[in-house]
Amino acid sequence: MTSIQNVNPRVRAIRVSAQTVLQSRAEQITQEIIQGAQKPFEDVIDVSSGDSHRAGMKPVSFIRQVLAVCLHPELLEDHSLPLDVRLRAQRLLQACDGESVGSYTASSGLLHVRQNITEFITQRDAGVPANSNNIFIAAGTQRALMVVVKLLSRGEGQSQTGVLTPLPCPHTLPALLDEAGVTAVPYQLAEEQGWAVDVKELRQALRASRGRCEPRAIYISNPGNPTGHVQDRKSIQEVIQVAATERLLLLVDEVYQDSVYGPNTQFVSYKKILFEMDQEFRDTVELVSFHSLSCVSVGECGLRAGYMETINMDPDVMHFVDTMLCTDISTPVTGQLALDLMLNPPKRGDPSYDTYIQETLFTWTTLSHNAQRAAEVLNALPGMSCQPAMGGVYLYPRLDLPAMVRRQAGMQEVEADVLYCQKLLEEEGLLVGAGQQGGAAGSHHLRLSVLVPPDMLEKVLSRLCSFHLRFMNGHRSLTGKDQKENPDGVVISGEGKTFSSSVHRMEDV
């Protein structure tokens, strides 16, 4: 049997995150409930990740129908299915070797799908050209990002590769960088400006990294994960200019590009802005952008497929990208086909068009409403504040925890927000994200997905409010303003703000 001494030291060094521990405990509690244990709640609700289908959001019918036909081609003769579903499935099967989803594909993905990805990108960016030779399909953006980061990884100590990483960042990113053997170079996002990217912080991080590592890339998520910030043109231009000056590769996660709902806000890709800049930038700045099935409108996280587009990358390096993807043999074919369907949905006049529009509009409206609704609730709680999100699926509220809680957490050798989340899980059966440094020094935050059905959001907010007020009451003497009234209605009054959590259903939006 393999002992821990025989495990690769780099693997042993990967941090076991607080979120992993919380997730394991949530699974244990679920099993305890199944086995008949009495809890003050009937189930565990997990809003720590953006897995919308697990939260109860419904899949897009068109995608599932086409995939069903591809998996069972006899359904091509089933006339109860819309004609455009059967025609699309037929074309996709013809693109597969042996006309079967059970066959391998090229390591970079099916050419048919990559060509459709280039058409999507060209249309999205108002005519900026794309080339299928620069498109690589991988088993999700995590896998694609890992391939690129491993290619950057080299050296040790002062010569070790560094990647500029935002604080806060996606909760899976630190472990990915650990596994790739690179150093995270943190740069702080501006919380009071809605978690905006501050190029002064980028430059400060670069200065601080000198003598510690060799920075070679900047990682950006836009819309921000988990902050919900959406960069404007000026901000993107400034980041590109820093990358050009410092000769850094831009790694841009644009997975939530379809989820922008902030007023007077729109998504613009890094590639589009780059190609609008002077030739010295568009011909030299190296950029890799990522997109995947985990986007809001589709939410097919479990199908494990995403793509990356490379810009201005050396052809020899691209050859190594393709070679490293070969270690997976090929991305699951069903995921590749779902990418095609995500980026090339039914068009006006197609039999599936109306249903597709209704389903995706409902998802977007739910997300927009939930983000506003949850932010109002969180900002009404004493000791909690939340920047409004402009896009993405998360809110990232700040906790102002009493000194007593921080001392108790220190004695237990955990962060104060982790202690908070442990108790929230045990007492209310609610799992939220924690244990991720993200704000100013000494601050604490939570991460919660709001891409959930409206009735589930009400349960989440009710449990969170109930716990938070009880928790804060137990650790400090609240004034008459900071108290909970009427548990059934969850009426909260704090810091001069009043909120009632009576259910607002989607038909009222």
**Nearest in space to 466 (alpha carbons), one of 486, 494, 437, 439:** 486
Strand partners of residue 367: none
Structural domains present in the chain: 9-54+359-508 (3.90.1150.10), 93-343 (3.40.640.10)
Token readout for 226 is 């988990």
pTM for the complete prediction? Answer: 0.89
How far is it, in rounded angstroms, from Cα 293 to Cα 304? 7
Using one digit for the tens of pLDDT, what is the confidence trace for 278-330? 999 999 999 999 999 999 999 999 999 999 999 999 888 888 887 777 777 78
How far is it, in rounded angstroms, from Cα 268 to Cα 135? 19
How far is it, in rounded angstroms, from Cα 37 to Cα 486? 28
Which phi and psi (to 5°) does residue 346 adopt?
A: -60, 145
How far is it, in rounded angstroms, from Cα 54 to Cα 460? 15
Q: Tens place of pLDDT for every residue, the chain, 509 residues?
A: 444 344 444 443 444 578 889 999 999 999 999 999 999 999 999 999 999 999 999 999 999 999 999 999 999 999 999 999 999 999 999 999 999 999 999 989 999 999 999 999 999 999 999 999 999 999 999 999 999 999 999 998 889 999 999 999 999 999 999 999 999 999 999 999 999 999 999 999 999 998 899 999 999 999 999 999 999 999 999 999 999 999 999 999 999 999 999 999 999 999 999 999 999 999 999 999 999 999 999 999 999 999 999 999 988 888 888 777 777 778 999 999 999 999 999 999 999 999 999 999 999 999 999 999 999 999 999 999 999 999 999 999 999 998 888 898 889 988 899 999 999 999 999 999 986 665 566 689 999 999 999 999 999 999 999 999 999 988 764 433 344 443 334 444 333 334 444 433 333 33
CA 490-424-262 angle, to 5 degrees, is 65
Which single residue is written with the structure tokens 């962060």? 415
**Nearest in space to 62 (alpha carbons), one of 461, 331, 313, 354:** 354
The dihedral through the CA atoms of 395, 400, 406, 408 has a sign that is negative
- The answer to whether the CB of 196 falls within 8 A of the CB of 189 is yes
Using one digit for the tens of pLDDT, what is the confidence trace for 178-217? 999 999 999 999 999 999 999 999 999 999 998 899 999 9
**In terms of DSSP bridges, do strands 398-399 and 444-445 run parallel, antiparallel, or are they unpaired?**
antiparallel
Coil vs helix vs strand at 304: coil
The C-alpha torsion from 315 through 319 and 324 to 328, rounded to 10°, is 120
- The answer to whether the CB of 457 falls within 8 A of the CB of 432 is no
Coil vs helix vs strand at 82: coil
- The answer to whether the CB of 174 falls within 8 A of the CB of 159 is no
- The answer to whether the CB of 325 falls within 8 A of the CB of 105 is no
- DSSP type of residue 191: G
The DSSP H or E segment spanning 363 is helix 353-380
Coil vs helix vs strand at 321: helix
- The answer to whether the CB of 166 falls within 8 A of the CB of 197 is yes
**In terms of DSSP bridges, do strands 135-138 and 161-167 run parallel, antiparallel, or are they unpaired?**
unpaired
Number of neighbouring beta carbons within 10 Å of residue 456: 15
- DSSP type of residue 397: -
Token readout for 221 is 């998520």
Coil vs helix vs strand at 337: helix
- Could you please report the per-residue DSSP string of 416-468? HHHHHHHHHHHHH-EE-B-----SSTT-EE-BEE--S-HHHHHHHHHHHHHHH
